[in-house]
């Protein structure tokens, strides 16, 4: 390889060349290429007499997941090889927007007669590419995210029965290769039964792992989170970075992570590739968890949603259509619309005020650690800053707030105290026991006839349902929606169609109410019904919830 540096170009001041060399490519050893490595790009230019612009390819290092150097088994060939793995964006053929695809670039180095010297030179390039790929500034929505330690040891849990039963096939076709390209050692664990993952992480020696990754629907992550919070060392355990790869039919958190990255909406295998790419980048942010109290069941922790009424019915009743994948929810919605129900109950909540949001933003300006291990490619911990999209508008009502809710009169009851002092996991400071009256600063909804109640803490309810478009992973609020009785089937269908793009709040539906809350309580009056937490059926009856801001760690980019 020619060790000369490239002549500085017009962009050299902001993006200087750090390495330059001449390579051939596999498959055509007669054509040579000039390759320049800058802080942000790998520039490949064919050495020819034709105009430069037609032969120049610029590879963005932000799209790079890994790079390796090696020699082939042929001892007679002294050459070394350099392969770069990227997942850049390109326009989709059928629909609008962009999606990621796999691109592999392999270069051959045979300038020197000594095979070892060629390999050393290739290794220098591979190391420099990996370092520059990792040395980007990762600032998203005002939050600078930390980085997983490298090499990162992952436990990858796969539910082979999730979705259409193809999770293991998807792992073999996509994820195994991506992790190998990124140089991420991982151990595959195939779950065998319900709560297998919960039991496993509850007893596992977590010091062996830098991250836990779930490839399934949202139900498996629900098991993992609750298993971690049932451990005696839950405070340390819940800091283990968690990753999600879509392998089920709902895939709501995977769709949310993809959305938070700023990418165009995608689904199915395109979503899997996108989430796999984000996983390989290994950036960690905070994620809210919500404490859920039921009448007689142990406390649960939720990362996605609490639902009652229409949404919960569709989620569970559509299980019979699981074989059609994500389309099961569309089918279930149409079936339930045909026999629309009204659900009676009492709903109350503690509003999230602007003052609370600003204080919580300052409180969360703390150091974020990843298993207390330093990254060899960047800082082990960084400051989390308040999001630009900090929730300022606390309530959105298509109808007047004063006509739909009522402040609870102040009583002689004591200030709110924890209802969970003896339970594992963090204490709840806002919730009284379910059999006690509500605190005085809660709002009680006057209506008692509902079509649905949905509490969200991520943006998506499914791959194609953006239920809370303003949500972020750690905004510290519960996004509460409820639809009052009296809505027509047509209007409700329009709401769900608009929800595909997150436009339902702009439909001017007089029966839809949306507000941001810190805690809520629901008391169903109907003797029978369905309540779901993260898509899982829980005990039917009174339920209350409180958000814990940034309690978990999420691999999200």
Report, as residue numbers or ranges, the catalytic residues: 218
Distance CA 552, CA 121 (A): 42
Distance CA 416, CA 435 (A): 14
Distance CA 105, CA 58 (A): 12
Of 370, 367, 382, 384, the C-alpha closest to 476 is 384
Q: Do β-strands 98-100 and 28-38 pair in parallel, antiparallel, or remain unpaired? A: unpaired
Helix (H) or strand (E) holding 453: strand 449-456
Distance CA 130, CA 285 (A): 22
What are residue 475's phi and psi, to 5 degrees?
-90, -5
Distance CA 223, CA 416 (A): 29
Within 488-543, residue ranges assigned H as helices are 489-499
The answer to whether 57 and 44 are in contact (CB under 8 A) is: yes
Q: Do β-strands 211-216 and 154-158 pair in parallel, antiparallel, or remain unpaired? A: parallel
> DSSP readout, 454-473?
EEESSS-SBTTB-S-TT--T
Q: How many CA atoms lie within 13 A of 555 on its CB side?
A: 28
Bond before 151 cis per omega within 30 degrees: yes
Q: Which residues pair with 158 in a beta bridge?
A: 190, 215
Tell me the torsion sign for CA atoms 339, 514, 265, 146: negative
In eight-state DSSP terms, residue 287 is: E
- Distances, alpha carbon 84 to alpha carbons 26, 68, 89, 100, 105, in Å: 13, 7, 16, 16, 5
In eight-state DSSP terms, residue 427 is: P
The answer to whether 103 and 90 are in contact (CB under 8 A) is: no
């Amino acid at each position: 390889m020619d060790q000369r540096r490239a002549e500085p170009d017009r962009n050299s001041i902001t993006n200087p060349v750090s390495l330059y060399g001449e390579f051939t490519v596999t498959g055509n050893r007669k054509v040579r290429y000039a390759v320049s490595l800058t802080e942000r790009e790998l520039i490949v230019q064919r050495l020819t007499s034709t105009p430069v612009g037609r032969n120049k390819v610029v590879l963005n290092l932000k799209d790079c997941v890994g790079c390796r150097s090696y020699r082939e088994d042929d001892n007679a060939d002294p050459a070394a090889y350099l392969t770069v793995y990227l997942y850049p964006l390109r326009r989709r053929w059928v629909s609008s927007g962009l999606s990621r695809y796999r691109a592999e670039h392999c270069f051959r180095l045979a300038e020197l007669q000594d095979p070892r010297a060629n390999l050393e030179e290739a290794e220098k390039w591979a190391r420099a590419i990996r370092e520059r790929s990792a040395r980007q500034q990762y600032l998203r929505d005002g939050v600078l995210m930390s980085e997983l330690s490298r090499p990162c040891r992952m436990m990858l849990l796969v539910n082979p029965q999730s979705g259409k039963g193809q999770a293991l096939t998807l792992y073999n076709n996509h994820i195994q290769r991506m992790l190998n390209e990124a140089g991420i050692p991982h151990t595959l664990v195939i779950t065998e039964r319900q709560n297998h993952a919960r039991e496993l992480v509850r007893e596992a020696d977590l010091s062996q792992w830098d991250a836990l990754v779930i490839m399934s629907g949202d139900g498996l992550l629900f098991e993992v989170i609750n298993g971690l919070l049932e451990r005696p060392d839950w405070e340390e355990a819940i800091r283990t970075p968690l990753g999600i790869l879509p392998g089920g039919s709902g895939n709501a958190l995977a769709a949310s992570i993809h959305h938070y990255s700023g990418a165009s909406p995608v689904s199915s295998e395109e979503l899997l590739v996108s989430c796999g790419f984000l996983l390989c980048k290994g950036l960690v942010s905070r994620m809210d968890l919500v404490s859920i109290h039921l009448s007689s069941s142990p406390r649960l922790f939720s990362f996605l949603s609490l639902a009652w009424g229409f949404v919960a019915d569709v989620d569970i009743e559509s299980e019979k259509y699981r074989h059609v994948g994500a389309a099961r929810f569309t089918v279930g919605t149409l079936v339930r619309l045909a026999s629309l129900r009204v659900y009676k109950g009492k709903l109350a909540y503690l509003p999230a005020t602007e003052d609370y949001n600003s204080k919580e933003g300052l409180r969360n300006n703390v150091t974020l650690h990843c298993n207390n291990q330093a990254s060899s490619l960047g800082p082990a911990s960084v400051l989390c800053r308040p999001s630009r999209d900090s929730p300022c508008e606390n309530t959105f009502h298509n109808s007047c707030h004063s006509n739909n809710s009522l402040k609870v009169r102040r009583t002689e009851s004591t200030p709110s105290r924890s209802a969970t002092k003896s339970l594992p996991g963090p204490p709840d400071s806002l919730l009284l026991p379910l059999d006690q009256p509500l605190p005085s600063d809660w709002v009680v909804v006057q209506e008692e006839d509902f079509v649905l109640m949905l509490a969200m803490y991520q943006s998506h309810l499914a791959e194609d349902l953006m239920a809370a478009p303003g949500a972020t992973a750690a905004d510290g609020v519960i996004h509460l929606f409820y639809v009052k009785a009296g809505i027509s089937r047509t209007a409700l269908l329009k709401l769900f169609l608009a929800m595909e793009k997150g436009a339902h709040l702009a439909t001017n539906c007089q029966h839809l109410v949306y507000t941001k809350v810190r805690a809520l309580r629901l008391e169903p009056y109907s003797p029978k019904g369905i309540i779901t937490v993260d898509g899982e059926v829980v005990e039917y009856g009174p339920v209350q919830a409180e958000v814990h801001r940034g309690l978990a760690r999420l691999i999200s980019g």
